[in-house]
């Protein structure tokens, strides 16, 4: 690696980042350009009307910070506005199902977008190239066309049966969306078909020329506000005009002598750290990778952390997040002792009154040691495209708890809790493992297992992201098809329900860069068809 490395789920987006390195850009430039390109190629999962978090480490500048650009509830929301509509919480914990699906599809499902503010905030402080240079490659891609990949097609057509609106129905929701991705007979476009989206290209060119004001205060913002006012949406001009991304320090933990930095609430870095602190009390290598006892121990740590997330993690501006108890070594030790005794944790789920979902991720590293790990998303697609603008809006309102008085309940201006956990592990003062993932509620679970694979099992980063995974975001354990039925039967004998997927790769889609001495290696999750590009 002479100039830099990009790891991303989308090949063409990764190449945009690589070209930015060749043009003299740094890791921040490459990350921002890659993110804009991802929003074009994979606009079902991300884009300029989404949200996310970027974890930035720039050693020569003495910078180590997280920029949170989470979606906010519009000012028009009321804490109890959907209380009587609650039917149930999804099994994977990624959203609440309401009567009429008003929080999940359509104009009321859209929260205040943060992606443009977040990407500009990173670039304004730490980018090297002009702003237009990192935006225009995505604009040209939208105008000239890009191809539908196998991973995108499979995402469109898979059926989750979680209670959320299925992806294929989101694509059909508005004529503007359906016209992009369906043929004349109403069928989704085939793999390899070229899609052109000149409306999105024009929106991106407006951003390139005017900066974030075009989106939040200018012509784009005016068009957004007018559309939502006409169609009963909650989002309004005042929401856009008042939006700001937020820089914060990372939260810190440790694992087997490595220092671990992750994003703070309302992200889920704290959840990842709690799992690592629990599992440090076990000899995981001796248990053997993905043996029944290994899965039991790790899944129990996952469940206990999930309970903490659901109960305690929210927007710190609105709720008192009990950081001391989350990071308390005695509490992690007590969890480990309970797991050792064989106690089975239960994850409460809401019932009515009487992610899963995908995202995207990228990692960049340059020759100066600057690195960015960033996850950005729509949460789920709202199904809404404002005519003439070309981009899909987030469906982030589905993650707010419709029951008042809880950490994740609705409130005007409150930031949506997200499972995003872009993280960096340090060996001494130097980055050792830079990673993150898309994958809804499974994100911390996937990141956790890649860390364990590298640190406990001695795998390379490529082996670590390729290894079969499992997840416990609720009482059941979801298991990849490459883990045998024999293992599931053994777990059943221990009292666990297992749900064995037909898919070989589940539980988030982890992307990572490993720095070991002078050697830099990238790992792209194979289920995405992504790329590791070094220039």
Residues assigned a catalytic role? 359
Closest CA to 133 of 38, 212, 43, 16: 16
In this structure, what are the phi and psi dihedrals at residue 359, rounded to the nearest 5 degrees?
A: -160, -165
Distances (CA, A) of 331 to 258, 316, 475: 20, 21, 21
At residue 348, the 3 state secondary structure works out as: coil
Neighbours of 128 (CB within 10 A): 18
Tell me how far apart the alpha carbons of residues 474 and 479 are, in angstroms, rounded to a whole number: 13
Element containing residue 478 per DSSP (H, E): strand 477-479
Nearest C-alpha neighbor of 426 from the set 417, 414, 418, 434: 434
Contacting residues for 242 by C-beta, under 8 A, at least 6 apart = 413
**Residue 81: which residues within 8 A CB-CB, separation 6 or more?**
402, 410
Q: Which of 196, 67, 213 is nearest to 127 (CA)?
A: 67
Sign of CA dihedral 29, 114, 394, 186: negative
Nearest C-alpha neighbor of 519 from the set 418, 427, 450: 427
Quick one: which of 250, 227, 240 has its CA closest to 66? 250
Contact yes or no for 298/449 (Cβ under 8 A)? yes
User: How far is Cα 223 from Cα 225, in angstroms, rounded to an integer?
Assistant: 6
Residues recorded for the chain: 535
What lies within 8 Å, CB to CB, of 96 at 6+ separation is 86, 88, 89, 90, 103, 350, 398, 399, 400, 401, 402
Point out which residues pair with 436 in neighbouring strands: 511
Query: What angle, 0 to 180 degrees and rounded to 10, lies between the N-to-C axes of helices 198-210 and 27-41?
Result: 150
CA distances from 469 to 107, 241, 259, 418, 465 (A): 36, 42, 24, 21, 9
d(CA 373, CA 363): 4
């Amino acid at each position: 690696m002479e100039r830099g490395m990009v790891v991303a789920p989308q090949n063409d987006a990764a190449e945009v980042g690589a070209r930015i390195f060749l043009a003299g850009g740094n890791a921040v430039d490459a990350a921002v350009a890659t993110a804009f390109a991802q929003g074009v190629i994979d606009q079902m999962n991300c884009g300029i009307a989404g949200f996310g978090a970027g974890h930035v480490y720039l050693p020569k500048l003495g910078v180590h910070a997280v920029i949170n650009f989470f979606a906010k509830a519009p000012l028009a929301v009321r804490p109890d506005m959907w209380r009587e509509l609650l039917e149930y919480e999804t099994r994977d914990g990624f959203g609440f199902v309401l009567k009429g699906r008003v929080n999940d599809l359509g104009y009321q499902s859209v929260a205040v977008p943060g992606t443009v503010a977040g990407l500009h905030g990173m670039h304004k402080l730490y980018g090297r190239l002009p702003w237009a240079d990192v935006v225009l490659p995505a604009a040209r891609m939208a105008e000239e066309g890009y191809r539908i990949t196998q991973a995108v097609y499979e995402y469109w057509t898979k059926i989750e049966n979680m209670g959320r609106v299925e992806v294929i129905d989101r694509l059909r929701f508005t004529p503007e969306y359906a016209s992009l991705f369906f043929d004349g007979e109403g069928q989704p476009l085939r793999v390899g078909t070229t899609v052109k989206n000149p409306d999105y290209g024009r929106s991106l060119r407006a951003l390139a020329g005017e900066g974030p004001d075009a989106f939040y205060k200018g012509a784009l913002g005016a068009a957004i506000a007018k559309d939502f006012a006409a169609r009963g949406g909650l989002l309004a001009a005042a929401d856009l005009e008042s939006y700001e991304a937020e820089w914060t320090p990372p939260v810190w933990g440790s694992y087997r002598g490595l220092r671990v930095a992750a994003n703070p609430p309302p992200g889920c870095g704290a959840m990842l750290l709690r799992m690592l602190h629990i599992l440090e009390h076990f000899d995981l290598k001796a248990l053997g990778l993905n043996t029944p006892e290994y899965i039991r121990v790790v899944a129990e740590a996952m469940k206990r952390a999930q309970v903490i997330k659901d109960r305690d993690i929210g927007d710190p501006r609105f709720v008192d997040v009990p950081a001391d108890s989350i990071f308390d070594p005695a509490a992690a030790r007590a969890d480990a002792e309970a797991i050792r005794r064989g106690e089975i944790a239960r994850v409460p789920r809401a019932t009515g009154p009487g992610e899963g979902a995908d995202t995207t991720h990228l990692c960049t590293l340059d020759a100066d040691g600057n690195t960015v790990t960033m996850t950005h998303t729509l949460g789920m697609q709202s199904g809404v495209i404002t005519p003439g603008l070309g981009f899909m809006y987030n469906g982030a309102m589905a993650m707010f708890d419709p029951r008042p008085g809880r950490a994740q309940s609705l409130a005007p201006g409150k930031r949506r809790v997200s499972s995003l956990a872009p993280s960096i592990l340090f060996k001494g003062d130097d980055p050792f493992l830079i990673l993150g993932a898309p994958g809804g509620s499974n994100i911390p679970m996937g990141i956790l297992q890649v860390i364990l694979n590298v640190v406990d099992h001695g795998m390379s980063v490529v082996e670590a992201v390729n290894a079969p995974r499992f997840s416990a975001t609720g009482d059941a354990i979801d298991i990849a098809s490459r883990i045998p039925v024999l293992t599931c039967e053994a777990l059943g004998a221990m009292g666990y329900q297992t749900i064995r997927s037909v898919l070989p790769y589940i539980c988030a889609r982890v992307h990572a860069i490993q720095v070991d001495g002078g050697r830099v290696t990238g790992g792209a999750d194979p289920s995405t068809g992504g790329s590791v590009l070094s220039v």
